[in-house]
Structure 1
Amino acid sequence: MLVCVGNTYVHKNGPSGRFWCYTCIAEHEYHRIDVHDMFHFCFIPLYSQGIVQSIITCHGCGNLFDGAVLRGMTDEQLAQTRQLIGTWLSEKSVEHIQKLLTDWRVPDHQIKRLVGLALGDAVRKCPRCALSYHPSMEHCLECRGALSQPQAAENKAWDMSFLVKPKG
C-alpha cells in the first residue's frame, strides 16, 4: 500500500483594501493572495501550516508586490520616490510636497526621510509666508517673494508642523 504525505503550496484569496502603489504613484485598490504551506495526505490538502508569502495585486496597474508593501516602502521604492520628490522640489514648496504625501497615506516617518534626503542639508525660506524650498529655488511659488539665502536645514524644515501653517 502506497501512502503519500507531504507539503504543497496553495493560493488562497486574502482581504482587499486600499494601498499606496509606488508604480502608479497613487492610492489604489488591492487584492491580496496568500500562499499557504499545506500538509497533504494522498495529495489532498488537509490543513495550513501557515502563510508562506502574501502577494498584493494593484488594481490600477496590475503589478504584483510582496505583502510587505502594505507595511511601508522598500529601499528601491524610497529611491524612486526620492527622485520624484527631487523633481517636485523645483516646482513646489516642501510643505506642499509633505501635504501631498500625507494625503497619499505615505507614513510620516517615510515622508520625513524622503523629503530630508531629497532636500539635502540646506533649505531656503520665504520671509513672507514661511514656506521652505530647495536651495536652487530663487522665488516663492506662493507669494513670488525673494527667498532667503540657503541655510543649514534643521529638522523643522521637514517636520510635520506644516499641518498648522505659521502665522505672520
Structure 2
Amino acid sequence: MALFEALYREYLVPLKKYAYRIGVGYDDIEDMVHEAFIEYYKRYSLDLDHKVKLVLLIRILRSKWIDNRRQMRRREMLHLEDPDAEEEIMNLLLEGEIGIQLLDQEVIDRDIYWNVWKIVKSMKKDWRDVLILRVLEGLTAEEACAVLKIKSTVCCTRLYRAKAELQKRVLRAKLFDI
C-alpha cells in the first residue's frame, strides 16, 4: 500500500495538469485521474521504472478520457438525457436471443483477457515490459527503447521471444479453440 501511496503522491499533480491540457472537464479531472491510478494498480507492477509508470498512467488517463467522450457522443446520438435510460435500452437488447449471445461472448472475451494477462504477468520482467509497451500500450520501437533504456536490437529480440513464449503458453493453456 505504501508503494501505491508513493505513486499517487508523485504523479497526482502531473496527471491533473495533463488532464486539463487534453480538455477533461474541470469537474471530471479528479475522478478521471483517480480512475487512472486504480486501473494502473490493477494492471501493472508498482516497481516499474519512473518513465514507464508515467507513460502508462498518461496512456490510461487518455484512454479513459477518450472512452468518456465516446460515451457522451453515444448518449447524444441516442438522445439519452437520463443515464437510467441506458439500462432500459440494455434490457431490451438482452431480452432477445442475440443479446444473450452478445453477453455470453463478452464474458468469454473477458475471461480470455484475464487469463492472457495472468500469463503476461508471469513472464520474465524484461520480456513483459517490452510486450506491455510495444503491444498493449502501442509505443513505437524507439519510444519503448527510450523508456526501457535499451538498444533497438535488444528490444526487437525481447519482443520476438516474448511473443513466442506468450503463444506457447496460450496454446498450452488452451484458451482458444484452435
Higher Rg? 1
TM normalised by structure 1 equals: 0.22
Between Structure 1 and Structure 2, the one with more helix by share is 2
TM normalised by structure 2 equals: 0.21
